[in-house]
């Protein structure tokens, strides 16, 4: 049983190019390494030229991606070699949304690099890890169906987030909070 405490980011250290990447990784994990399934919980890759998020192992089942952490982490592999290349913007955007989705189910799990637990460069020397941490910290509404609406309300000053930087998009709105939004819509700023 997996009890996630962290999200661990990986790269495949291979060139992305086809929809066969997920299947190739799964085949390698099962048939070469002898694992029962693909080791990662999620794979992000290009499928028919578009960024796609593909489910691997269930998040409730221990992975096989980071020795010593498999029973307390969710592993995400972004297909590509980020020791040599930069992460494509569409794959990066999918990663940010996936992290928000995972956190909506498991709480604010910290992000870690595979290299934090192994003598590797994974997720790659060119992987913008610090940028990813910043882009996903406290921003608990990214990747939700209402993201553009929330961003509009924040930018227009109709709503604000909480002191910790979160928005808490699934929290029930109180009548007091609703009154503030309606008043702001009416132009009252008191």
Mean local confidence (pLDDT), 157-184 = 85
Mean local confidence (pLDDT), 147-156 = 88
Mean pLDDT of the chain, nearest integer = 88
Nearest to residue 74, comparing CAs of 7, 149, 26, 144? 7
Query: Mean pLDDT: which of 92-96, 123-127, 173-177 is highest?
Result: 123-127
The first and second tokens of residue 190, run together, are 């008191």
CATH number of the 6-136 domain: 3.40.80.10
Residues 98/92, Cβ–Cβ less than 8 Å? no
Give the residue extent of every domain in the chain: 6-136, 147-185
């Amino acid at each position: 049983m997996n009890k996630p405490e962290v999200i661990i980011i990986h790269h495949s250290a291979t060139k992305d190019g086809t929809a066969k990447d997920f299947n190739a990784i799964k085949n390698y994990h099962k048939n070469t390494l002898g694992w029962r399934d693909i080791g990662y919980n999620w794979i992000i890759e290009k499928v028919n030229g578009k960024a796609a998020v593909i489910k691997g192992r269930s998040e409730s089942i221990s992975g096989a991606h980071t020795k010593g952490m498999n029973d307390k982490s969710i592993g995400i592999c972004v297909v590509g070699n980020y020791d040599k290349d930069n992460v494509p913007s569409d794959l990066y955007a999918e990663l940010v949304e996936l992290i928000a989705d995972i956190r909506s189910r498991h709480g604010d799990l910290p992000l870690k690099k595979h290299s934090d637990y192994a003598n590797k460069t994974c997720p790659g020397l060119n992987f913008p890890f610090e940028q990813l941490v910043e882009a996903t910290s406290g921003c608990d509404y990214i990747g939700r169906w209402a993201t553009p609406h929330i961003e509009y309300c924040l930018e227009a000053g109709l709503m604000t987030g909480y002191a910790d930087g979160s928005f808490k998009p699934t929290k029930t709105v109180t009548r007091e909070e609703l009154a503030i939004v309606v008043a702001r819509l009416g132009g009252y700023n008191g």
